[in-house]
Amino acid sequence: MKAANILEAIGTPFLEMLGFMGSVALFFAEGVRRIFTSVRIFSRTVRQIYVIGYQSLFLIALISLFCGMVLGLQGYYTLTRFGAVGFLGAVVSLSLIRELGPVLTAIMLTGRAGSSMTAEIGVMRITDQIDALDVMDINSVSYLVSPRLVASLVAFPLLTAIFDVVGIIGGYMTAVALLDMNQGTYFYRIASSVTMNDVACGFVKSLVFGIVVVIICCHQGYYANRRRDSVGPEAVGNATTSAVVTACILILAADYVLTSIYL
């Protein structure tokens, strides 16, 4: 009997995880399919680009500026120990373009835009607005998910590029303006070290992260009424928390896989 209980304790979470993965995969496939069959998807996509992208611009720029400044400061004093301070520009730029840019952008957008879309769709679910769309013969996935999916493929790479550029400027401010490093050396190392493969790596990561964030957050909100731990407004709050945590974990897991591919 004890062995059966142990197997049940192990097997139940595993089966729930498989069920969740299958549900997310089907949800993603339906969202992609509806991109090509939705009517008037362009206007809704532009609206979501504004919400996900433009409204997050100041936050991304501010965080990237301080991130670049910290990288410049830490990198300067670390490289000084090895007599290689001239490589600071390469360290800052490659760290941002290949890793910190796409990852931090995705995590910040998860907290700002992802939580918002989960809460919005979750409220629509518990107030029967999604059911009303289906009754009016308006596909709810086509209306709510597909425009956000397309918008993420536009907004995430653009915000990642802005993060990289502003972060490099932040590193320049620390290294050149504060620590009196030669600005020609700083930019020369960036130009000689960064390759198109590095840039492509960052943009591929941003595209994957954008899909992960939108699908996880929309899925959690769309099925907020099926949660076992809560109902009503509490379910929306728990779905939002679960969406942010799950998306951040998957971002880091996908980052490891993509990094191992590009190295």
**Predicted local confidence at residue 81, as pLDDT:** 86
Which 3 state secondary structure label does DSSP give 77? helix
**Predicted local confidence at residue 85, as pLDDT:** 85
Closest C-alpha among 102, 105, 107, 116 to residue 218? 116
Beta carbons within 8 Å of 85's beta carbon, 6+ residues apart: 76, 79, 181
**Predicted local confidence at residue 165, as pLDDT:** 95
**Predicted local confidence at residue 2, as pLDDT:** 65
**Predicted local confidence at residue 13, as pLDDT:** 74
CA distance 118 to 214: 9
Q: How many residues comprise the chain?
A: 263
Give the residue ranges of the chain where pLDDT is below 70: 1-4, 7-9
pLDDT tens readout for residues 8-61? 667 777 787 888 888 889 999 999 999 988 778 899 999 999 999 999 999 999
According to DSSP, residue 225 is labeled G
Q: Are 142 and 38 in contact (CB under 8 A)?
A: yes
